[in-house]
Amino acid sequence: MSKNVAIVTGGSRGIGRAAALKLAKAGYAVVVNYTANATAADEVVSAIKGAGGEAVAVKGDVAQEADVLAIFAAAERLGPLKVLVNNAGVMDSQARLDEMSIARLTRIFDVNLTGAFLCAREAVKRMSMKHGGSGGAIVNLSSAAAVHGAPGFGVEYAASKGAIDLLTIGLGREVAAEGIRVNAVRPGIIDTDIHDSSGIPGRVKMMRDAIPMKREGSADEVADAILWLVSDQSSYVTGTIVAVAGGRC
């Protein structure tokens, strides 16, 4: 019998990588999506297979509808889709709004927002009992920026994550009676490569003082919350956002 399938967008690095490894350990066949770094995605797949699990790396830009359809087609070849971790996301260099180009705004909203919506749409079509599916769980990646707005740093990134919160609340209610739970995690400062995009060397360490726990979080700590949100232990939880931020939001 085929395993239940989990798609992790942006599963090649950072939080997505940690979630992919934990989902495989929990028994899911995992689609490890990536957009550029095939070596990193292959390493995740090898680690999963080396531990006796099942995984496939699928290249695709979540902002492109055709790529999203290809990611979901790859999942269908593995088995029934039960989990989507809507994780792929990008940040840009530190900037005020009055310095932002249309190219920058378009990229952030296309990847962080339209990409997440497209993936959620395809997941609902396959998981919803209304469409003949057997239910499932979607976990979106929000950010503490959705609460504090990231002034002078990246309000467009913060706004894209604020919209993710509303996708979570609205879609969670929309499909609650169809067997799908939709939740989000709201990470604070997590030690991953994404901070390199800010153009501020050592940004993670610089932020420590502003965090009540006085330390950054790890990708594993965020992935643990994701795993809880897809598990039966959170069976009455939907349309909500779980902060994993050391007390910062």
CA dist 54 and 51 (Å) reads: 9
Residue number with CB closer to ligand NAP (19 or 128): 19
Rounded least distance, CB 143 to ligand NAP, Å: 4
How many CB atoms neighbour CB 162 within 10 A?
Answer: 18
Query: Starting at the edge strand that comes first in sequence, how are the strands of the sheet with 29-34 ordered?
Result: 55-59, 29-34, 5-8, 81-86, 136-141, 180-187, 241-244
CA 121 to chain centre: 15
Collapsing DSSP states into helix, strand and coil, what is residue 55?
strand
CA dist 44 and 26 (Å) reads: 15
Rounded least distance, CB 134 to ligand NAP, Å: 27
Rounded least distance, CB 140 to ligand NAP, Å: 8
CA dist 63 and 78 (Å) reads: 23
Radius of gyration of the chain (CA): 17
Longest dimension (CA), the chain: 55
28 among known catalytic residues:
no
CB of 78 closer than 8 Å to CB of 31 = yes
CA dist 241 and 187 (Å) reads: 10
Residue number with CB closer to ligand NAP (128 or 195): 195
User: Could you list the residues that contact ligand NAP (CB under 6 A)?
Assistant: 9-10, 12-16, 33-37, 40, 61-63, 87-90, 111, 115, 141, 143, 187, 189-190, 192-194
Residue number with CB closer to ligand NAP (24 or 190): 190
Rounded least distance, CB 201 to ligand NAP, Å: 16
CA 164 to chain centre: 10
Rounded least distance, CB 60 to ligand NAP, Å: 6
Residue number with CB closer to ligand NAP (128 or 244): 244
Residue number with CB closer to ligand NAP (30 or 190): 190
CB of 104 closer than 8 Å to CB of 94 = no
Residues acting as catalytic residues: 157
